[in-house]
Amino acid sequence: MFRPSLRQAHLGLNPCKLLARVAVPVRHASQRRNVDKIEWKWFLLVAAFGTMVYVNVMQRIQEQDHSKNLEKYKKTFTEDEWNKYISEIQKKHLTLEKGEECYLLPVTNGNSKDSKVVKQIVEKLGAKVIDLNELVERQLEGGKYHILLKENLETHDPKANGFAYSFTYRLKPGIFTQLVSDEIKKEKDADPGAGRFLLLNYPPNIKEAIKFEQNVCSRDTLLVLKEEEDNNVVEYFETVDKIKHVKDLPKLDPLEISHVAKPAPLLETPQLKMLADTQPSQDAPAIEKAQWQLRQLGQPIRQYGESDEDVITRLKSLK
């Protein structure tokens, strides 16, 4: 065992400590500078990449901010360009837009296509018959929307006076209008000249009625079998005078639509207006007729946040 001499101990020269010091590698200043340079290079690289990403994101945001990019949009139009621009805005693509007519019978009192009552109506109108109850039944058996309808089906009442099915609130409005629209297209493919359609057990609610006028056909009339029907859809159409009693229906001449017919051309320069200056025609959508009546009463034609249904409900409360 090694023991230091008294002189070495006195001077603090312990050989063990000296060996430990020698074993530790010495880091020179030049090596430290090289490591620092590498660290700064990585920092600058990350900073540059982050800056590029930030600038790219800000440019995308500014491109979507129209208020800061007005110089990119056309500000002047010739008369022809303006008319074309307005026509495109006002263009409305409906399932039936060549003059076809639709008669809606939401309350059938259990009458089906083959019943005597419905046959009498068909004889007067000369119309193709579509039953919403039948469409839903076919869908539930394995149609395009069978999963959606089955998951949201609550009840089925075969003895109902109108629409026989009840669905949860999660079912988005417009699904039944889509079923009717698809069936109308099938009928038109089979008979392009068909001009009238009788829809049984439709619309089941006001929201579907609004969807129908927006997407399928604006020339619609609601039919009732009795003098007074306790039904909110009937009340909705009655408010805007788009309702007829079956007993008062005259026998109509057949309505044949040419498969090459086109919508009537605009005879005057179109203008963007919320409501026409003249009274809407009998075939106008319910919302236009309701807004016209509100204007005559000195009321706002639409308040902030109102839907079409809210507008007509407000008109009804004023009568």
Both tokens of 114, joined, read 């083959």
Q: What backbone phi and psi angles, to 5 degrees, belong to 275? A: -155, 140
> Is a pLDDT exceeding 90 seen at residue 271?
no
Whole-number mean pLDDT of the chain?
A: 78
- Give the angle 150-151-157 at the CA atoms, nearest 5°: 50
Instruction: Compare 260 and 311 and report the one with higher pLDDT.
Output: 311
Residue pLDDT, tens place only, 178-222: 999 999 999 999 999 888 999 999 999 999 999 999 899 988 999
Instruction: Compare 285 and 177 and report the one with higher pLDDT.
Output: 177
| Whole-number pLDDT of residue 272 | 39
Residues 128 and 274: their CA atoms lie apart, in Å, by: 34
| Whole-number pLDDT of residue 15 | 54
Instruction: Please give the share of the chain, as a percent, with pLDDT higher than 90.
Output: 29
Mean pLDDT for 8-33 is 52
pLDDT-based confidence at 240, cuts 50/70/90? Answer: confident
**Are the CB atoms for 89 and 272 separated by under 8 Å?**
yes
**Are the CB atoms for 167 and 157 separated by under 8 Å?**
no
Mean pLDDT for 64-81 is 58
Residues 213 and 207: their CA atoms lie apart, in Å, by: 10
DSSP at 91: -
* pTM across the whole model: 0.63
Instruction: Compare 315 and 90 and report the one with higher pLDDT.
Output: 315
| Whole-number pLDDT of residue 202 | 95
Tokens 């399928």 belong to residue: 216
Question: Residue 33: CA atoms inside 13 Å, Cβ hemisphere, count?
Answer: 3
| Whole-number pLDDT of residue 67 | 52
Nearest to 135 by CA among 191, 205, 182: 182
pLDDT-based confidence at 82, cuts 50/70/90? Answer: low
Residues 199 and 185: their CA atoms lie apart, in Å, by: 14
Determine the topology of domain 101-245 in CATH. Answer: Rossmann fold (3.40.50)
CB atoms within 10 A of CB 111: 19
> Is a pLDDT exceeding 50 seen at residue 273?
no
Instruction: Indicate the SS3 state at residue 128.
Output: strand
> Is a pLDDT exceeding 80 seen at residue 64?
no
Q: What backbone phi and psi angles, to 5 degrees, belong to 147? A: -65, -45
Buried residues in 283-315 as b, exposed as e (16+ CB within 10 A): ebbbbbbbbbbbeeeeeebbeeeeebbebbbbb
Residues 132 and 216: their CA atoms lie apart, in Å, by: 15
Return the amino acid letter for 256. E
| Whole-number pLDDT of residue 276 | 58
Domain range summary for the chain, segments of one domain joined by +: 101-245, 274-318
> Is a pLDDT exceeding 90 seen at residue 41?
no
- Give the angle 205-282-101 at the CA atoms, nearest 5°: 65
Mean pLDDT for 140-161 is 91
Residue pLDDT, tens place only, 98-147: 788 999 999 998 888 888 999 999 999 999 999 999 999 999 998 899 99
Q: What is the bridge-based pairing of β-strands 165-167 and 153-156?
A: antiparallel
Estimate to the nearest angstrom the gap between the alpha carbon of 56 and the chain centroid.
32
Interhelix angle 286-296/232-239, nearest 10 degrees: 60
Q: Find the DSSP H helices in the chain.
A: 6-11, 15-23, 29-64, 79-90, 116-125, 132-140, 146-152, 175-190, 206-215, 232-239, 286-296, 308-318
| Whole-number pLDDT of residue 299 | 86
pLDDT-based confidence at 33, cuts 50/70/90? Answer: low
| Whole-number pLDDT of residue 137 | 95
Residues 291 and 163: their CA atoms lie apart, in Å, by: 29
